[in-house]
């Protein structure tokens, strides 16, 4: 069995998916908590050149033990959801449902978003801004 350590893959100390704002964002996104954990794990492994070696290995992601096949099935589902979300953004901007200016404004505000408990009201403002754009 292959047990992931912090050198190999996803480090929950760096990516705190239990942060209250992150939890709210996850709840209102297309991605599940598990999908995000696996995406982060996969990206971390890829950056470090660490591969899952054996077909029958189990991987520990977060606090869950996941079979290799399940890991890649969840990863594929998460990637498909991300692709659909991006294509949806392209569609709604192409049809002028949301303007390019609004999308850029939202992205600029979120790129500097400080995801801390003290800034939880920023999340609510962001949701309002997105709803007002539609």
Hey, where are the domains in the chain?
A: 20-94
Provide the whole-model pTM: 0.71
Q: What is the pLDDT of residues 28-78, one digit of tens each?
A: 889 999 999 999 888 888 888 877 766 566 787 877 888 888 999 999 999
d(CA 35, CA 77): 8
Tokens of 44: 């971390």
Of 40, 24, 51, give the one whose Cα is nearest residue 82: 40
d(CA 22, CA 42): 19
Of 126, 129, 115, give the one whose Cα is nearest residue 22: 115
* DSSP assignment letter at 31: S
Q: Which helix (H) or strand (E) holds 70?
A: helix 68-94
Strand partners, 59: 66
The pLDDT of residue 118 is 55
């Amino acid at each position: 069995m292959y047990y992931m350590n912090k050198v190999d893959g996803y480090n929950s100390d760096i990516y705190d998916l239990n942060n209250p704002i992150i939890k709210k964002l996850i709840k209102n996104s297309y991605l599940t908590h598990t999908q995000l954990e696996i995406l982060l794990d996969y990206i971390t492994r890829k950056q470090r050149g660490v591969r899952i070696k054996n077909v029958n290995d189990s991987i520990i992601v977060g606090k869950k033990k996941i079979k290799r096949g399940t890991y890649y099935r969840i990863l594929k589902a998460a990637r498909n959801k991300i692709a659909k979300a991006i294509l949806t953004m392209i569609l709604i901007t192409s049809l002028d449902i949301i303007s390019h200016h609004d999308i850029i404004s939202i992205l600029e505000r979120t790129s500097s978003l400080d995801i801390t408990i003290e800034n939880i009201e920023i999340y609510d403002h962001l949701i309002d801004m997105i709803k007002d754009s539609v």
